[in-house]
Structure 1
Amino acid sequence: MLRHVVLMNWTEAATGEQVAEIARRLRELPAAIPEIRSYQCGDDLGVNPGNANFVVTADFDSVDDYIVYRDHPAHRKVIDELIAPILASRTGAQFSLDG
């Protein structure tokens, strides 16, 4: 099992409505991409200073399944149309849950 984690920071111009639409659209992806086993996303709670603004975690059975998600047109559309215009920075990682 593979876990994919992305931390994003938004530009100063990003609005709450834009971020809410990103979350809504990302949460639709499991219905469009059957390779996704688990999917969560949301705003940072602001508990610690310096945290990223938004996080996505997704689980997949294999690297190949992750690549299907990564390159899927529905996922790319959310990135290109909604995320990219307000993205200040992004950090991602994938790691094995199998030890």
Structure 2
Amino acid sequence: MIAHVAVFTFGPEMTEERTEALAVELRAMALRIPSIKRYTAGPNLRMRPGGADFGVVAVLEDQAGIDAYLDSPDHVDLVTTSIAPFLVQRQAVQVELPDDWAPLWEG
């Protein structure tokens, strides 16, 4: 399994209402893409100073799953209409999730 993590910094035109709508749109999109196993998206909770404005975490099976997700017409359309017009910076990373990935402690 692979975790795809993307963070976005937006310009001032990205209002709180648009950010909330984006989270809803992304979660709905994820339900239509079979290669996505787990998914969440939302604004930065601002628990620490700095950081991006918005984040996405998608768990996918493999490289083919990532490609199917990122290249899907739903994803491309959503990025084009709801993210790109407001985007200042985007960063992403893909991290392997080992088969035995589990909590470090119980409780």
TM-score normalised by structure 2 residue count: 0.88
Q: Are 1:25 and 2:25 counterparts?
A: yes
2:2 corresponds in structure 1 to: 2
Q: Distance in 1 between matches of 2:31 and 2:6?
A: 20
Aligned-residue RMSD, C-alpha: 1.1
How big is the shift at 1:27?
A: 0.4
Q: Which amino acid aligns with 1:28?
A: A
| Percent pairwise identity | 31
2:78 corresponds in structure 1 to: 78
Bigger radius of gyration among the two: 2
1:15 corresponds in structure 2 to: 15
- What runs of 5+ residues in structure 2 fail to find an aligned partner? 100-107
**Matches for 1:46-65 after TM superposition, within 5 Å:** 46-65=46-65
Identify the range of structure 1 (12-21 vs 30-39) with the bigger mean alpha-carbon deviation.
Answer: 12-21
Q: Which amino acid aligns with 1:92?
A: A
- What runs of 5+ residues in structure 1 fail to find an aligned partner? none
